[in-house]
C-alpha cells in the first residue's frame, strides 16, 4: 500500500506517488488503458497531466468516465494571457470529459516577463481565480523546471496564495549548494503555509547522448531498473513533505511503484554519490545552456 498524506490544505489525502500522465501523451488508447489499469492496481489516487502533454488528456477520458471520483485530478496551462488560459482550461475539461478539476497549475512559470503577464491584469492567474469561483477548478498551483524555479516559486507565493508547487528534486540537483538553499527556503515557506509540494525528475539520469540508439520515451535518459533507482525514489520520499511524480517513461512505472514499497528513509550521501559516479548521473539543468527544455 502506498502511503497517503494530506495534499497541502486541499483536504485530499494523496498517495505519495502521483501518476505523471505525460507518459500517455504519445500512446495508443489501448496502451493508455493498460497503463491506467496498472495505476489503479497500484493504489495511486492522484493524476497529474497538462494541456501540452500530447494526447494525454484525451487518453484519460475513458478511464475518468469510470473512475473520476477515485482520483485527485490535476492539469496545467502554459498560457499567460487570461483569455487564452481560460480557453485552454475549457479545452482540457472537454478532452478529459469532466466538469471540474481538482487542481489547475500554471505550467513552467519561470521567465520574469511571462511571470509579470500571468500575474497582471487580464493575466492567466486572474482567469484561473475566476474559474475557481465558477466551480470549474477547486485549487490553483504553479509548476516549473530548471535551477531557477524554486526561487521563482517563492516569489510567486509572495504574490498569490497558491495551493501547490512542483519542481525538480533529486540528488544531483540538490548537490548544488545554491539550488539546495533555494529549495530549503521554498520548503520552509510551503510548510508554514501548508502548500503541497510535488517533485519531478526523481529518476533522471542525464540528458540523452546525441548518438544514443535507445528508444526515447522521455526527454531525458532515466535511471535503469535496480538499486540506484530504488535509492533515487527513497531520496525523495524520505522527506515526508514531498510527493513524487512518476516518469514520463511508462515502462518504469512498475519499478517506481516497487521502489516506493521499499523506501525507508533518505539514503546516505555516500551511497547516492556512488550511484552518481557509477552511472554518470548529471543534472538536467545547469542555469545556462541546459536550462530550457
CATH number of 4-278: 3.20.20.100
Cβ-contact 149, 284 below 8 angstroms = no
- Looking at residue 16, its pLDDT comes to 98
List, in sequence order, every residue forming a beta bridge with 224; answer none if it has no partner.
Answer: none
- pLDDT on residue 286: 72
pLDDT digits (tens, 9 = 90+) for 75-90: 999 999 999 999 999 9
Q: Mean pLDDT across the stretch 170-187?
A: 97
What is the pLDDT at residue 290? 46
Domain ranges of the chain: 4-278
pLDDT, tens digit, 9 for 90 and up, residues 46-69: 999 999 999 999 999 999 999 999
- pTM strictly above 0.75: yes
What is the Cα 267 distance to its own chain's centre?
A: 22
Average pLDDT of the segment spanning 145-160:
97
Which helix (H) or strand (E) segment is 61 a member of? helix 56-67
Q: Per DSSP, which regions of 2-107 are E strands?
A: 4-6, 13-15, 17-20, 46-48, 72-77, 101-106
Amino acid at each position: 500500500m502506498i502511503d497517503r498524506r494530506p495534499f497541502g490544505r486541499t483536504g485530499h489525502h494523496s498517495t505519495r506517488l502521483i501518476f505523471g500522465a505525460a507518459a500517455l501523451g504519445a500512446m495508443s488508447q489501448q496502451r493508455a488503458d493498460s497503463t491506467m489499469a496498472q495505476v489503479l492496481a497500484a493504489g495511486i489516487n492522484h493524476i497529474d497531466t497538462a494541456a501540452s502533454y500530447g494526447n494525454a488528456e484525451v487518453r484519460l477520458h475513458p478511464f475518468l468516465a469510470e473512475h473520476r471520483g477515485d482520483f485527485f485530478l490535476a492539469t496545467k496551462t502554459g498560457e499567460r494571457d487570461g483569455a487564452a488560459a481560460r480557453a485552454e482550461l475549457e479545452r482540457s475539461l472537454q478532452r478529459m470529459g469532466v466538469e471540474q478539476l481538482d487542481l489547475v497549475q500554471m505550467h513552467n512559470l519561470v521567465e520574469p516577463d511571462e511571470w509579470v503577464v500571468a500575474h497582471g491584469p487580464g493575466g492567466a492567474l486572474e482567469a484561473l481565480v475566476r474559474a475557481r469561483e465558477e466551480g470549474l477548478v477547486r485549487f490553483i498551483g504553479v509548476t516549473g523546471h530548471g535551477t531557477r524555479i524554486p526561487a521563482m516559486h517563492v516569489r510567486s507565493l509572495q504574490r498569490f496564495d497558491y495551493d501547490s508547487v512542483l519542481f525538480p528534486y533529486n540528488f544531483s540537483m540538490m548537490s548544488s549548494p545554491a539550488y539546495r538553499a533555494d529549495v530549503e527556503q521554498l520548503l520552509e515557506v510551503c510548510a508554514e503555509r501548508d502548500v503541497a509540494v510535488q517533485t519531478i525528475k526523481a529518476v533522471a539520469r542525464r540528458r540523452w547522448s546525441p548518438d544514443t540508439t535507445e528508444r526515447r520515451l522521455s526527454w531525458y535518459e532515466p535511471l535503469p531498473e535496480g538499486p540506484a533507482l530504488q535509492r533515487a525514489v527513497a531520496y525523495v520520499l524520505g522527506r515526508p513533505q514531498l510527493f513524487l511524480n512518476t516518469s514520463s517513461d511508462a515502462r518504469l512505472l512498475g519499478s517506481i511503484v516497487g521502489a516506493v514499497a521499499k523506501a525507508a528513509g533518505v539514503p546516505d550521501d555516500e551511497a547516492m554519490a556512488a550511484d552518481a559516479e557509477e552511472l554518470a548521473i548529471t543534472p538536467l539543468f545547469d542555469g545556462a545552456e541546459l536550462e530550457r527544455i
